[in-house]
Amino acid sequence: MGITIPGKCAGSVRRNRIKRVIREHYRTSKERFPTDGMLLFLLRNCDSEERIIGEMFRLTELAVTRSRKLPASGAEK
């Protein structure tokens, strides 16, 4: 898992808080994510912390839904 937040987005305290929240969300819901992929959170603008967290949850659900639709690794096409 990778997390990237540009320096111009917010001060270091706020950036680190957002990273901690993202890591905690991943830690508590790790079993929902596919194990054979990569996960990258790239924030391009910093709105309110609540909006960022809400968007993260929405994108997590989208990733989980899409990963279920993909064929299993190694499956013949």
Give 70 or 12, the one with higher predicted confidence: 12
**Contacts of 59 by beta carbon, 8 Å cutoff, 6+ apart:** none
With b meaning 16 or more CB within 10 Å and e meaning fewer, what string describes 43-59? beebeeeeebeeebeee
What are the structural domain ranges in the chain? 2-69
Q: What is the pLDDT, as a whole number, of residue 71? A: 65
pLDDT tens-digit series, residues 12-40 = 888 888 888 888 888 887 777 766 667 77
Task: Indicate the pTM of the whole model.
Answer: 0.64
Give 28 or 66, the one with higher predicted confidence: 28
